[in-house]
A = this chain, B = another copy of it.
Amino acid sequence: MVRGIGFKSRISTDKALNKMFSKLPTLGYEYVDIYSCAKRVLAEDVVAKTDIPPFDRAAVDGYAVKAEDTFGASQANPIILRVVGSVEIGENPNIVIKENEAVRIATGAPIPKGSNAVVMLEHVNVLNGDVEVLKPVTPYKNVSKKGEDVKRGELILKRGEVLQPQDSAILAALGYDKVKVYKRPTVAIVSTGNELVEVGKELEFGKIYNSNSPMICNALAEEGFESVYLGIARDNKKNIEKKLINALKYDVIIFIGGTSVGERDLVPEVVERYGEIVFHGVSIKPGMPVAFATVNGKPVFMLPGFPVATYVSFYTFVIPALYRMMNTRIIARKWSRVKGILQTRVSSEIGVRGFVRVLWEDGKVYPIRISGSGIISSLIRANALLIIPEDKEGYDEGEEVEVILIRDLTEVFE
């Protein structure tokens, strides 16, 4: 393309990115409802303000007891306990268990004072007002202890994380109804070119439909960014200038087209009058004529107008910039499949599809050693799932496995 020839110097993509990063503002934070926080970037470390669970609770349906009272129980020698009440889930048990007493209890209910274990329904015979315990329990058997999932004061989520649905679950479990996130930049888009006609209008000979602005609006929406399309600037300085001034109401400005060095490539010239060109011309193909400037401290991207160049330069520069403005960088995307070496054996039952929560780090896969699907924190400590198919009993330590990322992997700036 002859249009590129006029570039005296081009900088490398990495150099351009670093120059750009050093010029980007951040926008402060806001609080959003935890029901609609997905994809937002966390603006503070979250430390657990309570325990999960918040009390010792029954992990099974059965009878809350003093474990010591059941020692020695067996089918042949059942131990009889007096049933002094029952606790449903959600109830505050106003009972204190004394020696040789039991309380009927539902999974999830707080165990009454004086009790320290739960005998499963399967291990008792219910008599009239009494139960026969057929098997002993040790202290805290069948009890989810207060804080066993999350301990008060523990660091749960780090600043810079892109919030995932499972994060909202743990935030809710901790009692948060709002979460502090970075403000998301709003983006203004201006297309340039005398040849452009908006879709829906009649196409005169010699013109083409504007295809880049829907592409960029959709790309921004897909990433969760709000954009405002300001229409087409014609190839004259006045028109471009007017659009630029209007666009400065938004946090980020994207011009598409008119960034090269031809006669009608006026955008960088106009932008330079109002601000500072940080780079113009990058060793990237397609996308070489891309330029970046700041005007009144606001980032102004000038993307080349050829659609593939628009696409590549948008994803190479604009998306990382928008995340950088929220102090984060995305290293790997959610739902990617990645391989790694399993660090501990995991097992599963033949005939069952098993989902193991794992932490994938630098090609290593660490199973999160928490059984029980009630442990919310395992979904946050893990960043991936290892699926064990029905015909496998598990995977061995040292085996290479493929896992699915369940969160975006990020790096925080600063």
Contacts and interface: CB of A to CB of B under 8 A. Distances in A.
A109 interface: yes
A170 B62 contact: no
A60 interface: yes
Given A38-B218, A307-B379, A209 B355 contact: no
A109 B264 CA distance: 12
Interface string A328-361: 0000111111100000000011011111010000
Interface residues of A, number: 113
A374 B214 CA distance: 16
Contacts of A36: 217-218, 221
B2 A92 contact: no
Nearest to A288: B352
B92 A208 contact: no
Residue of A12, A206, A309 with highest tally of chain B CB at under 10 A: A206
A374 B306 contact: yes
Nearest to A205: B92
A166 interface: yes
Interface stretch (A22-30, A278-286, A294-302): A278-286
A92 B373 CA distance: 68
A335 to B, nearest CB: 4
A334 B89 CA distance: 43
A90 interface: yes
Interface in A162-211: 163-166, 168-177, 193-196, 199-200, 203-211
A216 interface: yes
A285 B390 CA distance: 11
A34 interface: yes
Given A172-B214, A173-B211, A175-B203, A308 B195 contact: no
B376 A108 contact: no
Contacts of A45: none
| Interface of chain A: mostly helix, strand, loop or mixed | loop
Contact of A176 (B122, B174, B199): B199
A41 B122 CA distance: 50
A248 to B, nearest CB: 22
Contacts of A362: none
A107 interface: yes
A106 to B, nearest CB: 7
A37 interface: yes
A84 interface: no
A13 B387 CA distance: 12
B92 A209 contact: no
A212 interface: yes
A316 to B, nearest CB: 8
A268 interface: no
Given A218-B35, A219-B38, A333-B336, A91 B311 contact: no
Interface in A87-120: 88-93, 106-110, 120
A121 interface: yes
A148 to B, nearest CB: 13
A12 B352 CA distance: 7
A118 B336 CA distance: 46
A147 interface: no
A285 B374 contact: no
Given A35-B218, A285-B353, A308 B172 contact: no
B311 A166 contact: yes
Contact of A1 (B60, B163, B353, B390): B60
Given A12-B353, A284-B355, 20 more contacts: A2-B121, A3-B61, A12-B351, A13-B353, A35-B213, A35-B218, A36-B217, A37-B218, A53-B208, A165-B214, A168-B211, A169-B211, A169-B307, A283-B351, A285-B348, A304-B373, A306-B372, A307-B374, A333-B334, A333-B335
5 contacts: A12-B353, A107-B262, A173-B208, A284-B352, A284-B353
